[in-house]
Amino acid sequence: MTKIDEPDTESEQEDNFKTNTKTVKFEYSDMEDDEAESSYTATRRGNKKKYEFKMPVHNGIPDSSKGPNTINILNIDCIQDLKLRERVVEKWVTEISLNLTDNPDEFEKAKNVLLLLEHKTDGIVQKFLRNNNWNEDLHGSDLFDNLINVIYTTFLGLDYISNKDFTINKKVDVARVSMTKLQLHDISLLDKYTCMYESYLYDIPQRSEYAQWISAYLMKIPIIGEICTERWKKEATGEIQQTSLSYATKIAKEEIDRICQDRYKQQNSKQ
């Protein structure tokens, strides 16, 4: 049976740059908190100085735990794992987009959008935004689209629009194949089966497909699959019910309860 692994939680880290007159010390840690240090010595004017270099650290993928209007600072310096870098950028773009959508008047002017992005970035991305000239005559939303596309190309090597379409299409293909292959052999694992199936189902953007996949979901349930499917076809008369996996699951659990009650009655009658 296919198994979904929960995403790992990025550990929080703090930037730690220590400097004194004789030693320049930079702390180095990757995204997994593993320590890997390198050092070298350099001779200048007869004085030896030791440099211990550590790469900048990050607080992981930004989240919205502080509220819908809270946008985390984007810093992708030295994140060489491009997949991880893409996840960080995607989450940040989503948060910025929500803020622009909620405040259309405030960000109608391109200059306000540019100031927001500069304020909500750090490191190489912030330098890039500040050191280049952007067309502030554009509408705010148009400049935002342009800047995000440039950020994707510059720091991820991807075209934002093409990559977005590719990602969506890839998710849809994976979802269809996974739901087709997913099997339930033990009725006691219905909740786990439903959780996995549901996570794939709603990766498909076309609601018109939901009914056929929900029907397939019910048919895969051992013992009660056919009975549940027949009930669902009769009782799910509206479009919302036909596209609701939870409605189908409710029918399945009712049938499981009915079987359990019947067996309980049979056992009592034999005693």
* pLDDT computed for residue 71 by the predictor: 62
| Closest residue by Cα to residue 160 from 171, 149, 169 | 149
**Single-letter residue type at 122:** D
pLDDT of residue 264: 81
Radius of gyration of the chain, Cα coordinates, nearest whole angstrom: 27
- List residues bridging with 18 in a β-sheet: 25
48 DSSP β-pair partners = 43
Give residue 52's pLDDT: 52
Largest Cα separation within the chain, whole Å, is 99
Contact (Cβ atoms closer than 8 angstroms) between residue 141 and residue 170: no
Looking at residue 174, its pLDDT comes to 84
Task: Indicate if the alpha-carbon torsion angle 107, 113, 115, 116 is positive or negative.
Answer: positive
Question: What pLDDT, on the 0 to 100 scale, is given for residue 139?
Answer: 94
Give residue 37's pLDDT: 39
Mean pLDDT, the chain cut into blocks of 10 residues (271 residues total)? 45 38 38 39 45 50 47 88 90 86 89 95 95 94 92 89 73 88 93 94 91 96 95 93 95 94 80 66
Q: What is the pTM of this model?
A: 0.47
Residue 135: per-residue pLDDT: 94
